[in-house]
Amino acid sequence: MNKLLMLLGMTVLLQSCGSKPEEKTSDLGKGVIPVKLVPINRDSGQTTISVSGLLSTENEARLSFKIGGVIESITVKEGDRVRKGQLLATLKSTEISAQVQQVQLAVEKAERDYQRASNLYKDSVATLEQLQNAKTGMEIARQNLQQASFNQQYSKIYAPADGFIVRKLANVGELTGPGNPVLFMNASSGSSKWILKAGLSDQDWAAVATGNKASVQFDAYPGQTFPAVISKKALAADPVSGSFQVEMQVDFGTQQPAVGMFGTASITPLQMAAGFRIPYEALLEANGKTGFVFVSDDSKTVKKVEVTIASFDDQQAYISAGLEGHAFVVSSGSPYLADGSAISVQK
């Protein structure tokens, strides 16, 4: 009886062991990864370029004296609005006035010397050379007087245009040299406009042109958007940052902004951006303008390809290159894939 029970137990054990190969054959499909595929759509719509920069005016001036001296007066403060021709600063006039007076006396002496030489030449006492030398001395003295008078005129600083004082760089009583900035001024006359200056990459710089429209926002005016237009493109890269500067003329309407405000702008290039449009989540390992995606042409296997990113929006990415000739892009299941992985398409 015991032997019969042992034989029955071994038979059950062998039957249970024999069922395992059938279970293994049912799991052969575990190497196939379920994914979702999205058709790759060509896109030729407009994209926007996002940049940021600082606000300034079209015309800026670093005002200085032509000659050196001690500053006698500065009649404006930072933030003051000024009118064209308004007196802004002066030097102590003692030294320059003395120089002008000395040159005037030298002119008077040179004129007397010339008159004397002319009379002596008529009497055949002075030679022609002496007369010519006296005349040359008189002309040199007159030119020196003109130069001194010019320097005296520029011992005062006048506003070159309507505007406002941004920064005062020196104070009364300080000794300043020729050409050293004393006042920094921004013009805000009818011909001067508010400008947002921003740096672009070479690719973005090539995409925009003067006349392209933009919209600008400033932290100082929350919730407000101001229209702008590209007014100037730099023809050389900034040696420090390596970016290419563009200037946007901003229309503030009745608002009165300040120089140095930080603003963000969205530029809309006029040229059409040819490329592809894919879901944002399809991108892998994006770094700047470069990213990777998995594509499939037969809905059975995938391939990892490098793409060039043109821009983003909230839901989609615009690809300028890398998807040519491919039919589908993987939008879900990418983290489990490798180059050449087998897939099953999920609805």
Query: What is the domain partition of the chain in residue ranges?
Result: 31-44+273-345, 50-58+187-268, 94-154
Does the structure show a pLDDT above 50 at 24?
A: no
Distance CA 306, CA 317 (A): 14
Q: What is the per-residue pLDDT for 105? A: 94
Does pTM top 0.85 for this prediction? no
Distance CA 245, CA 234 (A): 5
Question: 185's torsion region: left (phi>0), alpha (psi -120 to 50) or beta?
Answer: beta
Does the structure show a pLDDT above 60 at 266?
A: yes
Q: What is the per-residue pLDDT for 6? A: 47
> Tens digit of pLDDT for each residue in 284-300?
877 777 888 999 989 88
Does the structure show a pLDDT above 60 at 12?
A: no
Give yes or no on whether 31-44+273-345 and 50-58+187-268 have one common fold. Answer: no
Lowest mean pLDDT among 12-21, 161-170, 204-213: 12-21
| 225 contacts: CB under 8 Å, gap ≥ 6 | 215, 216, 217
| Per-position DSSP letters for 84-121, written without gaps between them | TT-EEEEE-SHHHHHHHHHHHHHHHHHHHHHHHHHHHH
Write out 116-142 in H/E/C secondary structure: HHHHHHHCCCCCHHHHHHHHHHHHHHH
pLDDT range class, residue 90, cuts 50, 70, 90: very high
Q: What's the CA angle centered on 37, arms 36 and 38, to 5 degrees?
A: 125
H-state helical runs in the chain: 2-18, 20-26, 94-122, 128-153, 202-207
Q: Mean pLDDT over residues 164-171, rounded?
A: 87
Q: What is the per-residue pLDDT for 43? A: 67
> Tens digit of pLDDT for each residue in 45-61?
556 788 899 888 777 78
Say how far residue 271 (Cα) sits from the centre of its chain: 21
- Domain 94-154 indexed as CATH 3.30.310: no
CATH of domain 31-44+273-345: 2.40.420.20
Distance CA 221, CA 215 (A): 13
Buried b (16+ CB within 10 A) or exposed e, 205-219: bebbeeebebbbbbe
Q: Mean pLDDT over residues 150-154, rounded?
A: 87
Chosen CATH of 50-58+187-268 out of 3.30.497.10, 2.40.30.170, 3.90.105.10, 3.90.1150.10: 2.40.30.170
